[in-house]
Amino acid sequence: MPVAPYVPPFKPTFRPVAPDRLLKLLGEKLLLPKEELARLAAELGAGVWELAWTVATVTDLAVMETLRASLLETIKTGGTLRDWRKMLDDSGWRSPLGKWHEETIFRTTLGHVMEGERYEVLTNDPNVEYLVFDAIDDDRVDEECLSLDGQAWPRDEFPDELWPPIHFNCRCSVIPADANELGELGATEHEGPAPLDHIAEGFDSPPSVRGLSEDLAGVIEDRLREDGWAVHAPVAPGR
């Protein structure tokens, strides 16, 4: 009886991104409390989430600026979560919700800007044939992320709403591959509609503001100023 050929598990190659680009992506975000950001997104569209950086439960913009500055310094120096927490101690702020909330801020923010860089590079590269969803297959992985692990789409067909992160603390990524590499990776081309029911609020669009018009960016800035908000960073729709 013939034996089916062995298909290796999906094991992608890690591809780092440029720190200076990460600094630009995070540094250009608007600072807004989550409630205000949600209100603008409901009025102007989900893409507004990509223009801003927010921290759940934090409404003081000075605190948000301090947190962002410390994350930028962590990226610049190649620091770890432990290093960042030391910066928090030095700044006099620690999350009242505990260490799990601090880890969520750290991992979600860095994952978001890293994947923002990868989104811009990979979706614009004509040499990329397929894009493959890559989940971290360990005991901490989200079950729905794991169900997408190794699923591939032609570059122009990858669902934007599935580009990681797709929830808080999401550690997933997307890697490029050609048709020959799919089998070697243990990846398979996705068939049928992309699952959408598990995307968390604010994560249902790619980690980029590409595609938002300058007019919309201007509307957001004007609306914030009319409501008395200080615009702490420029809106940069082109990136």
How many Cα atoms within 13 Å fall on the side-chain side of residue 152?
Answer: 24
DSSP assigned state of 180: H
What is the number of other CB atoms lying within 10 angstroms of the CB of residue 238?
A: 9
Supply φ then ψ for residue 176, to 5 degrees.
-85, 155
Return all residues near 81 (Cβ < 8 A) that are at least 6 apart: 102, 103, 106, 107
Contact status, residue 174 vs residue 115, Cβ threshold 8 Å: yes
Residue 19: strand, helix, or coil: helix
Distances in whole angstroms, Cα of residue 66 to Cα of each of 30, 145, 194? 14, 32, 38
* Rg of the chain on CA atoms, in Å: 19
DSSP assigned state of 31: E
pLDDT in tens, the chain (239 residues): 344 443 444 444 445 566 777 788 788 788 888 888 888 888 877 667 777 788 888 888 888 899 999 999 998 888 899 999 999 999 999 988 888 889 888 888 888 788 777 887 888 888 889 999 988 777 777 777 888 888 999 999 998 888 888 877 778 888 888 888 888 888 888 887 776 566 666 666 666 655 455 566 667 777 667 766 655 555 443 33
Q: What is the pTM of this model?
A: 0.66
Write out the H or E segment, with its range, that includes residue 196: none
| Cα angle 109-115-117, degrees, rounded to a multiple of 5 | 110
Supply φ then ψ for residue 53, to 5 degrees.
-120, 130
Lookup: tokens for 200: 């968390």
Contact status, residue 170 vs residue 108, Cβ threshold 8 Å: yes
Report the C-alpha gap between 83 and 192 in whole angstroms: 44
Lookup: tokens for 208: 């980029």
Residue 141: strand, helix, or coil: coil
Contact status, residue 71 vs residue 26, Cβ threshold 8 Å: yes
